[in-house]
């Protein structure tokens, strides 16, 4: 079936998902509607239990929907067996065959599809070279580092030329340096192959660094979606703001800004008609302003000095440049929350 130029490559239509044993009426994903463009790298971001991995398992054919449809390249695959969907899947645990060499792990899916002889060798080696393991094809998984094992898992998935590649927390078992390397590797592979990717993660840094579009999920629904810049700079809810690392969230009331401990009367202008305002630590002006608080913590971060200020509304986190004047522990410091720097939050 040919696909319309305007049709999405992957479409989830009113998708409802639940695992066996859940309470009646309780679902993991509730009437989800989501479209993915061909060649897009989309990240599903959210905390444990939000439904992101459940959604991915349904797309892969590992979980049957209670309701709704999954359409890939114009074809309804909702009830199609997993091995017929032409979807690659990279697991968090890599799931390599421990007794098979790198070459045989990568070639396994080709053998299942009836590829043999010179074509099997050529395609398997092309995939191994693509992930930078050209001299490792005879090694066993136990002879590889975690990053190298992850590359083998990627090669095994892309060698069968999937229409869609699903990655479930693929970097969570790696240390910080390897995660950074593998992010670059994934971006390079995605550009070279042009394959559509869906990347499931709870790590907002990974999602923002990798994806063309980020979908933040909460309790089986989409909380917000947009470009990484949209999600980071313009979160619409306190939930999304917290998830992308924004702090200093204060509710807007008729009396001022309400925090966990009390209220900061706002005297420098009218507050906007929003649910809450939030300031990143670097946006808090320290050393001057109408508010005051006691320094409860000081941390030198190299590129910044971070302060924890105990204010009338509760803790306020601020950052200054390393060369800026320093404030000692337990001293009273004035500060300001510039309205022009505030993130506007419309809902909880």
Hey, which residues does 299 pair with through a beta bridge?
Answer: 306
Hey, CA dihedral for 165, 168, 171, 173, is it positive or negative?
negative
- Of 131, 129, 23, 15, which is closest to residue 77 (Cα–Cα)? 15
pLDDT score, position 145: 87
> Rounded to whole angstroms, how far apart are CA atoms 45 and 52?
7
Domains and CATH numbers, the chain: 10-242 (3.40.50.300), 246-345 (2.40.50.140)
pTM score: 0.82
What pLDDT, in 10s, does the model give residues 228-287? 999 998 999 999 998 888 889 999 998 899 999 999 988 766 788 899 999 999 999 999
All residues at 6 or more sequence positions from 250 whose CB lies less than 8 Å from its CB, including other chains: 257, 258, 259, 264, 276, 277, 278, 313, 337
Q: Could you tell me if 288 and 336 are in contact, meaning their C-beta atoms sit under 8 angstroms apart?
A: yes
What pLDDT, in 10s, does the model give residues 148-192? 888 898 889 888 888 999 998 877 777 777 778 778 878 888 888
Measured N-to-C along each axis, helices 146-158 and 117-130 cross at an angle, to the nearest 10 degrees, of 130
Written in H, E and C, the secondary structure of 102-125 is HHHHHHHHHHHCCCCHHHHHHHHH
Maximum pairwise Cα distance, the chain? 77
pLDDT at 63 over 60: yes
């Amino acid at each position: 079936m040919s696909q319309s130029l305007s049709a999405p490559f992957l479409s989830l239509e009113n998708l409802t998902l639940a695992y066996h044993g859940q309470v009646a009426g309780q679902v993991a994903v509730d009437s989800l509607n989501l479209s993915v463009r061909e060649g897009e790298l989309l990240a599903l971001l959210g905390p444990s239990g939000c439904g992101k991995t459940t959604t991915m398992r349904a797309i892969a054919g590992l979980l049957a929907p209670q309701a709704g449809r999954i359409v890939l390249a114009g074809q309804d695959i909702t009830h199609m067996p997993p091995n017929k969907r032409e979807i690659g899947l990279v697991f968090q645990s890599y799931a390599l065959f421990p007794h098979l060499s790198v070459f045989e792990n990568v070639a396994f899916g080709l053998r299942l599809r009836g590829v043999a002889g010179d074509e099997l060798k050529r395609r398997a080696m092309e995939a191994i070279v693509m992930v930078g393991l050209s001299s490792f094809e005879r090694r066993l998984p136990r002879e590889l580092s975690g990053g190298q094992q992850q590359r083998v898992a990627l090669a095994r998935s892309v060698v069968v030329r999937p229409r869609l590649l699903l990655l479930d927390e693929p970097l969570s078992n790696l240390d910080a340096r390897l995660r950074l390397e593998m992010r670059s590797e994934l971006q390079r592979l995605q550009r070279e192959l042009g394959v559509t990717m869906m990347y499931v993660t709870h790590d907002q840094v990974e999602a923002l660094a990798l994806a063309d579009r980020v979908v933040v999920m909460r309790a089986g629904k989409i909380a917000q979606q947009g470009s990484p810049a949209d999600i980071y700079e313009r979160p619409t809810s306190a939930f999304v703001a917290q998830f992308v690392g924004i702090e200093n969230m204060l509710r807007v009331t008729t009396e001022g800004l309400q925090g966990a401990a009390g209220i900061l009367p706002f005297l420098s202008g009218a507050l906007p008609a929003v649910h809450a305002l939030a300031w990143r630590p670097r946006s808090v002006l320290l050393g001057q302003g109408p508010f005051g608080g006691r320094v409860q913590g000081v941390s030198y971060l190299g590129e910044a000095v971070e302060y924890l200020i105990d204010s009338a509304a509760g803790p306020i986190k601020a950052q200054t440049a390393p060369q800026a004047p320093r404030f000692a522990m337990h001293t009273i410091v004035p500060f300001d929350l510039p309205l022009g720097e505030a993130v506007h939050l419309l809902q909880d």
